[in-house]
């Protein structure tokens, strides 16, 4: 099922004359039209890369993946390093930098944080438009002197996480990190712009139990599931313990100790 059938219509548009060929390539690759007056979203191509713009009068601004500037840079420089809760959740400690698979990569923010702390990262994103934004952000980041080395630790796979994990090729990840899309009930203004933009494209992860099951079968050392702080655990095996933050928590499913 492509995005035209998923309830949200998307067109590809070039924002500059120089980006028309690139826009044509993305349109072919994603099976999306250039012209669609009824489109809900535009995947916009410019000399600065890709961005997704919701169309309509009250639409928020465009969303793009940027590992070089903005929030990613701030978090890399001032986010707390290996003292961050996500670092503790995946088992980072002196002499331990696990190989991690982020099975629900999204915009790649958490994977970038872990890569910046020295973890070798595999990322899976199943929504083709989000995967395209992520691929574009990784390509631009890889050209940057400061973050190019971090991007070099990140490998993007596009497809269904459950199938890819069940048919994993090569050395299995030590840790699998899962952050499923959770049904939101907050007022729209409180939900982050990206979430508001992506929810019509992605929907909720109703297959979260199967995702957890596949992750537990593949990970050699532990599975980590990020949840809203008060949300129930994913159905199935119960976590051994959790790390609680202000708005979210990390449910930990250990299999084997991570050692230096």
Q: How far apart are CA 23 and CA 45, in angstroms?
A: 6
The enclosing H or E element of 25 equals helix 20-30
Closest-CA residue to 221 (of 124, 93, 53): 93
Using the predicted structure, report yes or no on whether residue 4 has a pLDDT greater than 80. Answer: no
Q: Name beta bridge partners: 251.
A: 225, 242
Other CB atoms within a 10 A radius of the CB of residue 179 amount to 20
Of 6-10, 161-165, 224-228, where does mean pLDDT reach its minimum?
6-10
Tokens of 188: 């729209």
Using CA atoms, how far residue 48 sits from 66, 192, 218, in Å, is 10, 23, 37
Give kind and range of the element (H or E) at residue 88: helix 85-90
CATH (one of 3.40.1630, 1.10.8, 3.40.50, 1.10.10) for 10-54: 3.40.1630
Bridge pairing between strands 222-228 and 248-254: antiparallel
Binding-site entries: 125-126, 179
Average pLDDT for 231-236: 93
Digit-coded pLDDT (tens) for 202-214:
665 568 999 999 9
Taking 90 as the threshold, does the pLDDT of residue 81 lie above it? Answer: no
pLDDT in tens, 107-133: 999 999 999 999 999 999 999 999 999
Beta strands of the chain (E only): which ranges?
10-14, 41-46, 49-54, 100-102, 121-125, 154-158, 175-178, 222-228, 241-244, 248-254
Q: Are strands 248-254 and 241-244 parallel, antiparallel or unpaired?
A: antiparallel
**Taking the model in full, what pTM does it have?**
0.91
Domain ranges in the chain are 10-54, 70-254
Q: Please check whether the two domains, 10-54 and 70-254, share a CATH topology.
A: no
Closest to 258 measured CA to CA, from 50, 39, 60, 93 = 93
pLDDT classification of 28: cutoffs 50, 70, 90: very high
Beta-carbon contacts of residue 230 (< 8 Å; ≥ 6 apart): none
Alpha-carbon distance of 54 to 43, in angstroms, equals 9
Please tell us whether the domain made up of 70-254 is placed in CATH 3.40.50.300.
Answer: no
Helices and strands per DSSP (H, E), number in the chain? 9, 10
Q: Which residues are annotated as a binding site for S-adenosyl-L-methionine?
A: 125-126, 179
**141-193: per-residue pLDDT in tens?**
999 999 999 999 999 999 999 999 999 999 999 999 999 876 555 444 444 66
C-alpha Rg value of the chain to the nearest Å: 18
Residue 234, pLDDT > 80, answer: yes
Q: Token digits for 66?
A: 């940027």
How far is Cα 233 from Cα 237, in angstroms, rounded to an integer? Answer: 9
């Amino acid at each position: 099922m492509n995005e035209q059938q998923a309830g949200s219509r998307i067109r590809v548009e070039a924002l500059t004359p120089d980006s028309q060929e690139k826009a044509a390539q993305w349109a072919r690759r994603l099976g999306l039209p250039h012209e669609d007056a009824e489109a809900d979203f535009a995947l916009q191509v410019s000399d600065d890369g890709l961005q997704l713009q919701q169309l309509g009068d009250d639409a928020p601004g465009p969303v793009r993946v940027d590992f070089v500037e903005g929030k990613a840079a701030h978090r890399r420089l001032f986010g707390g390093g290996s003292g961050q809760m996500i670092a503790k959740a995946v088992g980072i400690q002196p002499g331990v930098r696990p190989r991690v698979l982020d099975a629900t990569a999204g915009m790649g923010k958490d994977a970038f944080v872990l890569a910046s702390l020295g973890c070798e990262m595999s990322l899976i994103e199943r929504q083709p438009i989000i995967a395209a934004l992520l691929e574009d952000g990784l390509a631009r980041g890889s050209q940057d002197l400061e973050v190019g080395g971090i991007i070099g630790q990140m490998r993007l796979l596009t497809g269904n996480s459950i199938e890819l994990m069940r048919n994993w090729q090569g050395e299995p990840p030590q840790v699998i990190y899962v952050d499923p899309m959770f049904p939101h009930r907050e007022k729209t203004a409180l939900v982050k712009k990206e979430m508001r933009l992506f929810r019509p494209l992605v929907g909720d992860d109703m297959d979260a139990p199967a995702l957890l099951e596949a992750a537990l079968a593949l990970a050699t050392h532990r599975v980590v599931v990020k949840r809203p702080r008060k949300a129930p655990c994913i159905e199935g095996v119960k976590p051994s313990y959790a790390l609680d933050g202000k708005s979210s928590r990390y449910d930990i499913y250990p299999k084997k100790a991570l050692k230096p």
